[in-house]
A = this chain, B = another copy of it.
Amino acid sequence: MNAMTEPGRWNRRALNHAARLARAEQACGTSKLLRAEQTVALLEAVIEPGDRVCLEGNNQKQADFLARSLVKVDPQRVHDLHMVQSVLSLPEHLDIFDTGVARRLDFSFSGPQAGRLAQLVSQGRLEIGAIHTYLELFSRYFVDLTPHVAMVAAHAADAEGNLFTGPNTEDTPAIVEATAFSGGIVIAQVNELLPPGQALPRIDIPAGWVSFVVQAPRPNVIEPLFTRDPAQISEVQVLMAMMAIKGIYAEYGVQRLNHGIGFDTAAIELLLPTYGESLGLKGKICQHWALNPHPALIPAIEAGWVQSIHSFGSELGMEDYIRARSDVFFTGPDGSLRSHRAFCQAAGHYACDLFIGSTLQMDLDGNSSTATLGRIAGFGGAPNMGADARGRRHVSPAWLRAGEEARRGRSGAAGTPRGQKLVVQMVETYREHMQPAFVERLDAWTLAEQAGMALPPIMIYGEDVTHVLTEEGLANLLLCRNDAEREQAIRGVAGYTPVGLGRDRRMVEHLRDRGVIRRPADLGIDPRLATRQLLAARSMRDLVRASGGLYQPPARFRNW
């Protein structure tokens, strides 16, 4: 018997797949469409101990019913799972480690569960494989972290098992593709199961890629993570937003960009149709975006600033607005958003000239991190979008100029010319509870020691940061000639933090003369004009009004 005919030598995966399906049939019958109460039995039938399992797990949409069901399986039958999912958002995502159902974890972001995750690690109940940026984790789905079982969430299924994800397609295509085409089992929970003969608004995932569909007793959980109430934007944030627009966006002519989550960037979005308009920048900056449908962008969209938006996920309440503004968003024929985290992250990496985001801590090398002691949070998409895309080969004015400044800075214009992505860290010098944002040493180092990580969890490396923006000014790190200048450029915008007070005043003034550091006055910005009056919307109600009533914020954001 040779290798070719030896049974089970080369089709183990197919045989194993058939065995799982046979067990499912025994437990739940022959239909692919299951009732909610069959779910625990299904999971016990198809999951094997030690399996790699993806429990979708986005930062918005959650396969929450499947998560609750996984908590209920018998740990004698299902145990030591290796979870490979981008986001840990629900308590159930960690409950399975308490019960022994799961043991190992590879992930990207754990915001709300970061404290408990750190506890589980320190108790030895959970092993972390690694913390990834989103696209990196999806990439490993096709290499060495391919799921054996994927549990995903969709809005609806038809009678054949085709899936309509609704606007939050998010991670689903990447998860399902990796699982379905490697002999894995794909289970979808849906809010709605259409009767035979009725068609979905669109098909996001073909039925052939889906093994089982379960109608969940309640619609899946979804978080409006990208809604920022303009009422909470401070005048300091308005000032910083003015500096971003005039000192960076206008200077480099930034047309394609990503904005992170947060009030700092919401302020920029709300200043485009007012301050940006007054500078004559309409059409010259910010026409193409890779970001979720931020409500704060509504006034800029209405004023005709925005040509296109491609999104990672969606945002609750924006459905009707998106449908009515289909020229701008990627939508299906029914007008609902088609998002796609993998492609949008690729767009953020390769097709954007600028990433701007906030951080909690930055050191004197410009390394920044949102990791703090006692929490293992991960960074989601920031490392991917906040890194220079060294494989990029197409040019744009912004990218060429940043690259040229870097070359002039580092080597006095020697070396091979190359473009560079603009990576801006925007941060007030003091954050909540008077914690300085600038530090000599990141908490990430201590966290790495405590959790036994090989490297400190740095969100964005100083080597990749081009600008640091605080209320004190804008530091262009590209123009720094050496590490000492870079340190003083950071100290020079670090305000009254100990790091800021430790500046070499003469060197900082010298950097200011050279335009490495620019204060509001150097940018021609009068801080007295930095008032909330400049915001195109000052409340949620203003956003609703700007949308012509199309935007319908979730109840928690309404106070009228």
Among listed A75-83, A220-228, A381-389, A493-501, interface-contacting one: A381-389
* Beta-carbon nearest neighbor of A397 in chain B: B454
A143 touching B308, Cβ below 8 Å: yes
- Are the C-beta atoms of B387 and A390 separated by less than 8 Å? yes
Cβ of A129 under 8 Å from chain B: yes
Partner of A288, one of B144, B174, B395: B144
The number of chain A residues touching the other chain, given as a range, is 35 or more
Contact for A256 among B143, B332, B387, CB less than 8 A: B143
In this complex, which of A133, A139, A203, A383 has the most chain B Cβ atoms within 10 angstroms of its Cβ? Answer: A139
For A384, give the chain B residue with the smallest CB separation. B391
Partner of A13, one of B133, B142, B256, B326: B326
Residue of B nearest to A5 (CB): B548
A327 / chain B contacts, CB cutoff of 8 Å: 10-14
A557 interface residue per 8 A CB criterion: no
Chain B residues, CB < 8 A from A390: 387-388, 390, 461, 463-464
Shortest C-beta distance, A181 to chain B (Å), equals: 4
Instruction: Give A442 Cβ to nearest chain B Cβ, in Å.
Output: 9
Looking at chain A's contact residues, the main secondary structure is: loop
- Determine the chain B residues whose CB is within 8 A of the CB of A548 once the complex forms: 2-4
Contact B349 A139 (CB under 8 A): yes
Which residues of chain B have C-beta atoms less than 8 A from A144's C-beta? Answer: 255-256, 287-288, 307-308, 351
The interface residues of chain B lying within 8 Å CB-to-CB of A130 are 393-395
How many Å lie between the Cα of A415 and that of B290 in the bound state? 32
B308 lies within 8 A of A455 (CB): no
Interface assignment of A103: CB less than 8 Å from any CB of chain B: no
The contact sample of 10 A-B pairs, CB cut-off 8 A, is: A11-B326, A142-B343, A142-B346, A142-B347, A142-B351, A180-B332, A204-B206, A208-B333, A384-B391, A387-B389
